[in-house]
């Protein structure tokens, strides 16, 4: 871990870099179900896009095996030549050349990403779990997402987006003040089509300056997000993660039941029931993520916290060594998706969001002023013979060196902030922990907000969250 002085110098640079992100392009999502009159058309175009992608990928890979690299211009010229020679008519299969060209750009982009990953692997292979594989072909008969550019999709004066080449396909926008659209993405997903319209707003984000008030967040499972702050009098907020666990539990149980039926009846393991089940589960989690991210952004804004520091561990789920039950609960929570939503909604309000590695934040003690490093972790304490090695002695509880017990996730949240801003608590924190020195066993109570899903926030007061024992 970097020294105190280096972290103090590094934080302003990190924050300044985050302020350069401008969310001028926003996305609006619409669902096209099987009952919609345009559904058969989108289904047909999805199949055509799949065929174009596979053919384009075949040509690029064939050139690569010959020692040559084919870019998007050469790939487009290859399809034109095949059309002129009547060898393949895929260039006109989607009804508009622009639609085909967007699919071919996707092919070239996938190959470019693979090339970059390959070069990065050759320089530092320890950062990868294996050698990067070439983009694979899409399954035959399946549908593929495709993009409609702003030359093909037209924005009308009445606030609707129309695509003339697709039988005048029309989508009415919810936001009527849209001045320009960038593209329309049509994504097949679980038996429906998700139409994503990317449009531009005239709003310019003016990021708030660093005022020394920070909101720190520790993501988890039972407690989806534990929020704390260095603001005096701030009551820690815990967002309940059980609604997501409940949704995932029902989803896993029902999916396993349906798959067992299909296996016994020797049917293919794909049906409309599974599609509906996947879609319903994804929609519930998406709504939860939207509502929680909105609450967090409003929480930071109400306490004048111009900076949010949130824990993030890249690749943690790939190396998860939990038992089957806990691993299933942990993997099923889309932490990255929620992080993206928090960043997106907070930045629209001018609040800077800084993700940071949360390693050893749950093992080190905030009340004892420990540095969040390996030397203070559980394994290091065990090697040195310090008892207890693990101070997280019970579910949700953490005991400091002087016997004070506090919420484990709140402790981790405070430590996450300390990793980025080591002097964040220079003025101390008041209001979150009572002061009592005369009692041999004093219970400390403070209010924690539990987000239960839906439209309401419920307060639970009187929960044992911290105590001091002599």
Supply the pLDDT for residue 126.
87
Rounded CA-CA distance 466/463 in Å is 9
Strand duo 192-200 + 180-189: pairing: antiparallel
Ramachandran region, residue 386 (left: φ > 0; alpha: ψ -120 to 50; beta: rest): beta
Rounded CA-CA distance 437/267 in Å is 69
Rounded CA-CA distance 453/459 in Å is 13
Q: At 253, list the tokens.
A: 């149980």
Question: pLDDT tens digits, the chain, 470 residues: what are they?
Answer: 667 777 777 888 888 888 877 666 788 899 999 999 999 999 999 999 999 999 999 999 999 999 999 999 999 999 999 999 888 889 989 989 999 999 999 999 999 999 999 999 999 998 888 899 999 999 988 999 999 999 999 998 888 999 999 999 999 988 877 878 989 999 999 889 999 999 887 777 888 999 989 999 999 888 889 999 998 888 888 888 888 888 888 998 999 999 998 888 877 667 788 888 999 998 898 888 888 999 999 999 999 999 999 998 765 555 555 566 666 666 667 888 888 899 989 988 999 999 998 888 888 888 888 888 888 888 888 888 888 888 888 778 888 888 888 888 889 999 999 988 888 887 666 544 433 333 233 333 334 444 444 434 344 333 333 333 32
Torsion of CA 315, 321, 325, 331, to 10 degrees: 0
Supply the pLDDT for residue 315.
56
How do the domains of the chain map onto residue ranges? 4-14+208-469, 25-200
| CATH code reported for the domain at 4-14+208-469 | 3.30.420.140
Supply the pLDDT for residue 58.
96
Select from 307, 336, 313, 314 the least CA-distant residue to 420. Answer: 307
Supply the pLDDT for residue 462.
31
CA angle 324, 326, 331 (to 5 degrees): 90
CA angle 322, 328, 330 (to 5 degrees): 70
The model carries a pTM of 0.80
Supply the pLDDT for residue 316.
54
Q: Per 3-state DSSP, what percentage of the chain is helix, strand, and coil (rounded to 5)?
A: 40, 20, 40
Supply the pLDDT for residue 27.
87
Q: At 57, list the tokens.
A: 């990928």
Supply the pLDDT for residue 324.
64
Supply the pLDDT for residue 377.
85
Rounded CA-CA distance 35/72 in Å is 37
What residues contact residue 332 under an 8 Å CB cut-off, 6+ apart? 244, 245, 248, 251, 252
Rounded CA-CA distance 461/441 in Å is 19
């Amino acid at each position: 871990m970097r020294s105190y002085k280096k972290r103090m110098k590094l934080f302003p640079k990190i924050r300044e870099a985050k302020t350069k992100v401008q969310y001028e392009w926003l996305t609006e999502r619409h669902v096209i179900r099987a009952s919609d009159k345009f559904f058969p058309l989108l289904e047909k175009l999805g199949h055509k896009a799949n065929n174009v992608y596979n053919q384009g990928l075949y040509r690029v890979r064939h050139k690569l095996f010959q020692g040559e690299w084919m870019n998007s211009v050469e790939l487009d010229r290859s399809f034109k030549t095949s059309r002129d020679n009547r060898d393949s008519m895929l260039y006109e299969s989607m009804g508009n050349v622009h639609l085909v060209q967007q699919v071919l750009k996707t092919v070239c982009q996938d190959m470019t990403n693979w090339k970059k990953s390959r070069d990065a692997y050759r320089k530092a292979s320890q950062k990868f779990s294996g050698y990067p594989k070439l983009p694979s072909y899409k399954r035959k008969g399946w549908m593929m997402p495709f993009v409609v550019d702003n030359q093909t999709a037209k924005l009308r004066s009445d606030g609707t987006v129309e695509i003339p080449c697709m039988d005048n396909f029309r989508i009415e926008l919810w936001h009527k003040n849209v001045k320009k659209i960038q593209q329309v993405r049509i994504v097949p997903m679980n038996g429906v089509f998700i139409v994503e319209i990317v449009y531009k707003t005239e709003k310019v984000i003016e990021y708030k300056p660093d005022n020394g008030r920070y909101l720190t967040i520790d993501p988890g499972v039972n407690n989806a997000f534990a929020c704390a702050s260095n603001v005096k009098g701030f009551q820690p907020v815990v967002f309940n993660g059980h609604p997501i666990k409940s949704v995932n539990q029902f989803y896993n149980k029902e999916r396993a039941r349906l798959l067992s039926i299909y296996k016994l009846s020797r049917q293919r393991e794909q049906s409309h029931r599974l599609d509906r089940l996947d879609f319903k589960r994804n929609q519930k989690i998406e709504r939860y993520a939207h509502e929680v991210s909105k609450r967090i952004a409003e929480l930071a804004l109400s306490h004048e916290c111009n900076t949010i520091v949130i824990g993030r561990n890249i690749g943690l789920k790939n190396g998860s060594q939990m038992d089957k039950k806990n691993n299933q609960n942990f993997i099923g929570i889309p932490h990255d998706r929620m992080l993206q939503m928090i960043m997106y909604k907070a930045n629209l309000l001018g609040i800077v969001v800084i993700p940071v590695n949360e390693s050893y934040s749950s093992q080190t003690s905030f009340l004892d002023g420990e540095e969040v490093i390996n030397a203070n972790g559980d394994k290091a304490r065990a090697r040195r013979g310090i008892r207890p090695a693990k101070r997280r002695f019970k579910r949700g509880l953490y005991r400091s060196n002087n016997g004070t017990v506090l919420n484990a996730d709140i402790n981790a949240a405070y430590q996450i902030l300390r990793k980025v801003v080591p002097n964040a608590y220079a003025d101390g924190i008041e209001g979150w922990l009572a002061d009592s020195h005369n009692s041999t066993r004093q219970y400390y109570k403070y209010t924690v907000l539990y987000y239960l899903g839906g439209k309401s926030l419920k307060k639970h007061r009187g929960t044992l969250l911290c105590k001091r024992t002599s």
